[in-house]
């Protein structure tokens, strides 16, 4: 067959060869288009498959991805404040990672956030070594906090930006008030803008508590305030606002906030009164809201009259010369605001009336306001009020905490005797309770499966009542190596910081730990039956697990 001649107009030819060639071109074109469609479909499928992975990859560079156990140990060794997210797979922690990316940016330089994917081969080994299994957690993710190179606590606060930032800035600090589910009826205000909006839109009367998170009076009053908010819900608005940060200095000046808490009452956006009953009950607050009245003027503090009192009132300047003139003297160091001092003043005055008169007096009674005359107070290391000291020939001889009544003061002055030795402390008495401090607390508890720890203060009456029962319970379990009853004196040395870290806000506080990990607060009966029953229930659960495993085998 002869080849086709090239037509003059290739678009207008009816040559049979050209027709055959055109059919070939069309077939090639159709194959090309088919491959393009296949390629597009492949890319689409690939994108759909990669989408979760791509989403998971969108992690802030401030979040440290850790897979190797050596790298993990190095991280804990070089950083003091680390929050670690453990995830079951690369994608199971997506929601956490997006939030933590923002948190990491805010706490940069103050805390570190790390991520361990327990689903890949490296991460699986690491998770096994540190005994973490996020698959058992809801959502396949678990957050654990490490402080100063060791495990500190599980993060169990709300997974919100504000809560996480607050936690990382102070991991041992108290949780936010709004995190307490019992405070759900309190309106929690965060910014001055939100505060102004509330005043503008709210028709109901408002009682606003301006507070600071660290304030002890605020902490004691908050449960009462939130109970009042629940009881008056719908009628009134009870709100709270942390105004401690410097950004609220203008607001504090506007509403005369000179201390915490300060409670302000508003009607239709206008400030009317302060509420100053800080010892109120929820009912007191609810009743006051029905008929809000301005606070009554305070009764001025009545000073200890130096002219009418038979007690000699000394100063920094007169102290030494007075003692030289009076060979035997009892001196009361006091503060005008001290309740115990006020109670003791009339007793001290009556004793002085008897002792300071007559030539045969065994000695004189004097007093020093140590808040004014600080030099003499510092000289004798006065740290509490009242402090009573006995002097002979201008030399300090005894400190006498037991002298509070007129009769005891007179009796002592006629027969000065050394005070009885201080009562033996709980720690000094032999018992099966392990007394721990900041230096050995963590290591000691890590070795015990079940530990019930009593955080206490020696002067606390509720603690004193619980001590014999707690001690008896410890004695009953002393042969069990997996159990310990331990105690921490929160007033001693560095223990104050430890108690703060462990969430101690009052005495006594009882915490239960499992191999050094905090599990829950014990709020049961504080008698022997309560302490022993709690531990027996834990041992009973252990036995049930052993039996269950045997049955499975």
Tokens coding 241: 């606002």
Phi, psi of 432 (to 5 degrees): -90, 5
Q: Is 424 exposed, middle or buried (0-12, 13-18, 19+ CB in 10 A)?
A: exposed
| pLDDT score for 15 | 46
Cα separation of 368 and 338, whole Å? 13
The predicted-structure confidence for 173-201, as pLDDT tens digits, reads as follows: 778 888 888 889 999 998 999 999 999 99
475 CB contacts (<8 Å, ≥6 apart)?
A: 431, 432
Q: Which fold has domain 304-414?
A: Glutaredoxin (3.40.30)
Residue 298 has what DSSP assignment? P
Q: Are the C-beta atoms of 241 and 195 separated by less than 8 Å?
A: yes
DSSP 379-436: HTT--SSSEEEEEETTEEEEE-TT--SHHHHHHHHHS--PPPPPPPPTTTS--S-EE-
Residue-range domain boundaries for the chain: 64-173, 178-290, 304-414, 426-548
pLDDT of residue 10: 44
pLDDT of residue 518: 93
Burial class (CB within 10 angstroms; exposed 0-12, middle 13-18, buried 19+) of 238 = buried
By annotation, the residues acting in catalysis are: 215, 218, 338, 341
Which of 55, 109, 102, 52 has the alpha carbon at shortest distance from 80? 109
* Per-residue pLDDT tens digits for 335-347: 887 878 888 999 9
3-state helix, strand, coil in the chain (%, to 5): 40, 20, 40
Residue 404, C-beta contacts closer than 8 angstroms, at least 6 positions apart: 340, 343, 344, 347
The answer to whether 189 touches 248, Cβ cutoff 8 Å, is no
In sequence order, what are the beta bridge partners of 115? 65, 85
Q: What is the dotted CATH code of the domain comprising 426-548? A: 3.40.30.10
Q: Where are the alpha helices (DSSP H) in 183-338?
A: 192-201, 216-231, 249-254, 282-290, 319-325
Evaluate the CA torsion angle 436, 439, 444, 446 in order and state its sign.
Answer: positive
For 178-290, CATH gives 3.40.30.10
Q: Which one of 3.40.50.1100, 3.30.300.130, 3.40.50.1820, 3.40.30.10 gives the CATH number of domain 64-173? A: 3.40.30.10
What pLDDT digit, counting tens, does each position of 274-322 carry? Answer: 998 877 889 999 999 999 998 876 555 667 877 778 999 999 999 999 9
Residue 149 DSSP class: T
CA dihedral 367, 370, 376, 380 (to 10 degrees): 90
According to the model, what pLDDT value does residue 54 have?
Answer: 41
Q: What are the pLDDT tens digits along the chain (553 aa)?
A: 344 444 444 444 444 444 555 566 666 666 767 777 776 676 565 555 544 444 444 567 889 999 888 899 999 988 989 999 999 998 887 878 888 998 998 888 889 999 999 988 888 999 988 889 988 887 889 999 998 888 988 898 888 888 898 889 888 777 888 888 888 999 999 899 999 999 999 999 999 999 988 777 788 889 999 999 999 999 999 999 999 888 899 999 999 988 889 999 999 999 999 998 877 889 999 999 999 998 876 555 667 877 778 999 999 999 999 999 999 999 999 988 787 888 899 999 999 998 876 667 899 999 999 888 988 988 998 877 899 999 999 999 999 988 889 999 999 999 999 888 777 889 989 999 999 998 899 999 999 999 999 999 888 888 999 999 999 999 999 999 999 999 999 988 788 889 988 988 888 999 999 999 999 999 888 999 999 999 999 988 877 665 566 566 5
Same fold, 64-173 and 304-414: yes
Residues whose CB falls within 8 Å of the CB of residue 529, separated by 6 or more in sequence, listed in order: none
Helix (H) or strand (E) holding 141: strand 141-147
478 within 8 A of 485, measured Cβ to Cβ: no
């Amino acid at each position: 067959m002869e080849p086709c001649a090239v037509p003059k107009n290739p678009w207008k030819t009816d040559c049979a060869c050209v027709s055959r060639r055109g059919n070939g071109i069309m077939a090639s074109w159709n194959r090309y288009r088919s491959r393009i469609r296949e390629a597009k479909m492949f890319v689409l499928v690939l994108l759909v498959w990669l989408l979760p992975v791509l989403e998971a990859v969108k992690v802030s560079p401030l979040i440290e991805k850790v897979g190797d156990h050596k790298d993990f140990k190095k991280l804990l060794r070089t950083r003091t404040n680390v929050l670690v997210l453990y995830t079951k797979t690369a994608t199971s922690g997506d929601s956490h990672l997006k939030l933590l990316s923002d948190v990491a940016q805010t706490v940069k330089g103050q805390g570190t956030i790390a991520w361990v994917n327990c689903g890949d081969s490296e991460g699986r080994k690491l998770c096994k070594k540190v005994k973490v299994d996020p698959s058992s957690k809801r959502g396949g993710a678990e957050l654990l906090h490490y402080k100063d190179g060791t495990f500190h606590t599980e993060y169990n606060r709300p997974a919100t930006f504000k809560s996480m930032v607050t936690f990382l800035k102070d991991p041992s600090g108290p949780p936010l008030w709004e995190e307490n589910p019992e405070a759900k009826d309190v309106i929690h205000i965060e910014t001055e803008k939100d505060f102004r909006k509330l005043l503008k839109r709210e028709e109901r009367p408002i009682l606003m508590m301006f507070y600071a998170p660290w304030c002890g009076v605020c902490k004691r009053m908050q449960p009462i305030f939130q109970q009042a908010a629940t009881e008056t819900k719908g009628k009134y608005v009870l709100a709270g606002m942390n105004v401690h940060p410097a950004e609220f200095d203008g607001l504090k000046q506007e509403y005369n906030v000179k201390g915490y808490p300060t409670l302000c009452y508003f009607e239709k956006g206008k400030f009317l009164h302060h509420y100053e009953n800080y010892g109120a009950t929820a009912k007191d607050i609810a009743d006051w809201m029905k008929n809000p009245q301005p606070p009554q003027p305070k009764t001025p503090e009545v000073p200890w009259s130096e002219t009418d009192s038979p007690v000699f009132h000394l100063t920094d300047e007169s102290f030494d010369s007075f003692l030289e003139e009076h060979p035997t003297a009892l001196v009361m160091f006091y503060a005008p605001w001290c309740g115990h001092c006020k109670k003791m003043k009339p007793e001290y005055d009556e004793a002085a009336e008897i002792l300071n008169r007559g030539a045969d007096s065994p000695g004189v009674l004097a007093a020093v306001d140590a808040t004014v005359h600080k030099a003499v107070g510092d000289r004798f290391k006065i740290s509490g009020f009242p402090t009573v000291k006995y002097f002979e020939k201008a030399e300090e001889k005894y400190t006498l905490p037991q002298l509070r009544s007129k009769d005891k003061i007179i009796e002592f002055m006629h027969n000065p005797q050394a005070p009885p030795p201080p009562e033996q402390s709980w720690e000094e008495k032999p018992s099966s309770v392990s007394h721990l401090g900041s230096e050995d607390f963590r290591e000691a508890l890590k070795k015990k499966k079940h530990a019930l720890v009593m955080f206490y203060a020696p002067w606390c009456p509720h603690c004193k009542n619980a001590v014999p029962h707690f001690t008896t319970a410890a004695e009953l379990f002393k042969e069990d190596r997996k159990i310990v009853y331990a105690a921490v004196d929160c007033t001693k040395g560095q223990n104050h910081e430890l108690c703060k870290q462990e969430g101690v806000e009052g005495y006594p506080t009882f915490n239960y730990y499992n191999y050094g990990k905090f599990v829950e607060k014990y709020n049961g009966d504080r008698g022997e039956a309560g302490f022993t029953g709690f531990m027996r229930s834990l041992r009973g659960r252990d036995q049930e697990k052993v039996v269950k495993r045997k049955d499975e085998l």
